Amino acid sequence: MMEYKNDRDCSYWLFTMHVHRREEFCRAMLERGVEVSVSHYRNDIYTIFGPRRKDLPNVDKIDNDMMCIPIHAKLSDEDVTYVIDAIKKGW
């Protein structure tokens, strides 16, 4: 976990995490009413970077199992607990 400094604030939006069997996780969360997404993609998929694409196995792994869950300011404590419980139920 990151260390947070007391003299700074963060503008939370999404929490990015690694998930095994991402498609199953996504389906289970959506069935439970938790909106999840793949919000970030590797840059080298875009044509401007095409000629520079290299074999990057760690980037491939991150790209294949990264998932974002909501963690924004409009979530109540109950909403956060609901998301946590939905994840704990498994997929």
pTM to 2 decimals? 0.74
H helices within the chain, ranges in order? 22-31, 57-65, 77-88
* pLDDT tens digits, one per residue of 23-63: 999 999 999 999 999 988 888 888 887 677 778 888 888 88
Give me the residue label for tokens 């959506």. 30
CATH number of 17-88: 3.90.1150.10
* pLDDT tens digits, one per residue of 59-78: 888 889 999 999 888 899 99
Pair 14, 68: CB distance under 8 Å: yes
